[in-house]
Amino acid sequence: MKLRIQAVTWQEDACVLIDQTKLPSQITYLTCRHYREVVDAIRRLAVRGAPAIGIAGAYAVVLAAREGVTPLEKALTEIREARPTAVNLSWAVSRMQALISDPKKIPLERLLQEAQAIHEEDLLGNERMAELGAALLAKGKPVMTYCNTGDLATGGIGTAFGVLRQGYEDKKISHVYACETRPVLQGLRLTTWELQQNEIPFTAICDNMAALILRDRDVGAIILGADRIAANGDAANKVGTYALAVLAKYHGVPFYVVAPTSTFDLHLGSGDQIPIETRPSSEIVGVLGNNQPPVALEVWNPSFDVTPHDLITAIVCEKGVIHRPEASTLKAILDKPSPH
C-alpha cells in the first residue's frame, strides 16, 4: 500500500522528521544531525507514536555513535529515556546496543544497517497487520478510532490506521469516527489529516461523544494502537483508551488493539507495571489561550492509561491475531517465527 507521508527518514547522514507539532497547518521537516536533536524531538512530540519513536531512537543511536559521544552508553540512556511508556523506544535502543561489544570499535556501518532494518521490519509488519485486522471486520460498518496510528506514528501505513485503510478498501468499513484525543489532539490534528489524504469518509468527534455514537450508530468495532503490552495482554495506549474499552464492553462492540511485536514487553507480568508518562499541565490548560485563571490550576496529565486484557476482544500483531488476550494466548502467537 502506498505511503502518503514518512514521519522518519534517513537522508544524507541525517535523521529527518516531519514536525508533528505543526501539523496539519504546516508541513515542515527537522533535519537532525545530532542525537540530542532527535531526543528533543521525541520529548516534545515532534515525532511521536510508539513505532515511530523506536525508529527515530535507532537513528539517534547512529548519530550518537558517529558523533563519537563518550561514553556512548550515557547517550544511549538519554535516548532510551526520552519517553518512558512506549517500549518500542527502549527495545530499539537495546537492539542497537547489542551490536556494540567493544566501545573502542563501534561498528558504524552495521549500526545504520540495523536502524534501517528496524524501519523496514516495521513497514512490512504494518502491511501484514492491515490484512489480518481487516479480515476480522464485518461488512460495511462504521468504526471508531483513537489517537493517531498511521504513517505519522509508524514506519509504514500504520498499526490501527493500516487496518482502517485496508478495511475501507475491502468495503468492510463505511466510515470512521475519529476521536479528537485530548489534550494534544492527535486524533483531530493528525488522524483526520491522514483520513483526508486517504479519502476515507470520517467524522471527527470530541472524546466525550463516543458513548452516544456507540449507542446510536451501529459501530462495528473500535480499532486502535498500543504503546506497551504486558505479558498478560494488558495494553497501555493514549489516555482515554481505557474509557473507550469500558464503553465498548457495555455496548457489545468489538475492541481491537493493533500493535507490532516490538510493542510487547513480556518482562512485565501485567499492566500495573507499565510506567506511565506524566506530561506538563500546559498541554491541558493551553486550550484556554489568553483566558488563563489568575491562579495556576491544579492539573494532572497522565499521557497513557492501561486497558485490562479482559476488555480487549483481540490483539493483532504481525505474527497473527491474539483472540481473548491473556498470558497463554499471547505466548502461542508470539512464539511463532516472524513473517519477514
Helix (H, G, I), strand (E, B) or coil at 251: helix
Q: How many residues bind ligand MRU (CB under 6 A)?
A: 17
Are 335 and 325 a contacting pair, CB within 8 Å?
Answer: no
* Residue-wise DSSP of 170-198: TT-EEEEEEE--TTTTIIIIIIHHHHHHT
* Residue-wise DSSP of 43-84: HTTSS-SHHHHHHHHHHHHHHHHHHT-SSHHHHHHHHHTSSS
Q: Is 41 in the site for ligand MRU (CB under 6 A)?
A: no
Binding mask 130-159 for ligand MRU (x = CB under 6 A): -----------------x-x---xx----x
Q: Is 230 in the site for ligand MRU (CB under 6 A)?
A: no
Among 46, 49, 54, 173, indicate the residue that binds ligand MRU (CB under 6 A). Answer: 49
Q: Which of 227, 234, 265, 305 is labelled catalytic?
A: 227
Are 144 and 177 a contacting pair, CB within 8 Å?
Answer: yes
Shorter beta-carbon distance to ligand MRU: residue 49 or 84: 49
Shorter beta-carbon distance to ligand MRU: residue 112 or 322: 322
**CA 169 distance to own-chain centroid:** 22
As measured in angstroms, the least distance from the Cβ of 100 to ligand MRU is 27
Among 166, 186, 192, 307, indicate the residue that binds ligand MRU (CB under 6 A). Answer: 186
- CA contacts within 13 A on the Cβ side of 276: 17
As measured in angstroms, the least distance from the Cβ of 21 to ligand MRU is 11
As measured in angstroms, the least distance from the Cβ of 108 to ligand MRU is 29
* Amino acid present at 162: G
Q: Is 314 in the site for ligand MRU (CB under 6 A)?
A: no
Report the catalytic residues: 227
